[in-house]
Amino acid sequence: MKRIIITVVTAAVIMLTVPAAMCGKYASGNSTDTSTTAQAVPDTTAAKDKSGTPGKIADEKLRVWFPDEKKTKEIKMRDYLICTTAGEMPAAYEMQALCAQALAAATLVRRLITEGNIVEGSDKAVVAADAGTNQAYLSEEEMKKRWGDDYEKWHKRLEEAVDTVINYEIVYDGEPILAAFHAISSGTTEDAQTVWGKSIPYLTGVESVGDKLAPNYASSVTLTEDEIKKALGVESSRKGRELIKDARYTSAGTLTSVKIGDKEFSGAQIRKAFSLRSGNIRFLFDDKGNVTLSVVGYGHGVGLSQYGADYYARQGYTWREIIAHYYPGTQIQELK
């Protein structure tokens, strides 16, 4: 039987949900690195935003596909944003981080609406209640089951976050952005060009200094060399660093390519083959023929880092400052 050892540091109590987010329309790709970094500097003069008035936008109907039920449902925008924020980010995160996440989720939905997106297999649904396709979603029933007696407390926090930002969207050149987000970066977010093979001006690499403090920042998988060769369909008598060599990385640490035996693989292929938590992969060898695939971060690494947003919020950043940091060059626009 294949022997796989998985090491993940246990998440802290505040990790009430497992965030995993990406816009499924943009599949993983591979390319050379074009990332840049920028230092986040809080605007100490910025006033704290107070909860907004949801107004008519809250009652807008959104067609949502539920893959488990194979059904499209019409859901009010406010209700959808509460449920998807609950699914994507721990409710115990700082309020300013929850606001930033809710705004990113709302903007991603508006992007899909603008593009005329229809979820494959659905009855004209714009978005799927599924992290692998669009965004995670936690129903009211699931929230009650997960939070028990604390349901009211956490739900009110989510309501406050959503009501603060529901009348806004993040724009670039006047259009809602592809508001990508992920759980934990390597310490620097990744460039969209690296992950999806498409350059997007506001999805470039920026520092996310708090991510290295995340409880589940590092993970690893240990396999024998034979197990690696079998999984990848490689036939080679080489061993150790002669078997696995010429690994190439972006400045953010994402593996772009590696040679195993006589075959070259992309970082995305390696991540998928061994179900790794991110594309930031290093190969460590021992003298017994084992190889440890050491991984940091969680998710594709593009856009807003959810743990990083919580870290910045704990340093006093507002949701507006968090958005400006992770989506450089964008503006926050009020919806009319």
Burial class (CB in 10 A: 0-12, 13-18, 19+), 165: buried
Q: Taking 70 as the threshold, does the pLDDT of residue 118 lie above it?
A: yes
What does the pLDDT average to over 244-262? 96
| Residue 54 banded pLDDT, cuts 50, 70, 90 | low
Query: What is the per-residue pLDDT for 52?
Result: 54
Question: Coil, helix or strand for 82?
Answer: helix
DSSP string, 111-143: HHHHTT---TTSSS-SEEB-TTTSB----HHHH
Query: What is the per-residue pLDDT for 6?
Result: 39
* 149 CB-near residues (< 8 Å, 6+ apart): none
DSSP-assigned letter for residue 148? G
User: Which residue type sits at 204?
Assistant: T
Q: What is the pTM of this model?
A: 0.83
Question: Coil, helix or strand for 251?
Answer: coil
Q: Say if residues 186 and 211 touch (Cβ distance below 8 Å).
A: yes
Query: What is the per-residue pLDDT for 57?
Result: 86
* φ/ψ of residue 6, rounded to 5: -110, 125
16-26 residue pLDDT tens: 333 333 344 33
Q: What is the percent of the chain where pLDDT is above 70?
A: 84
Looking up tokens 């959503």 gives 162
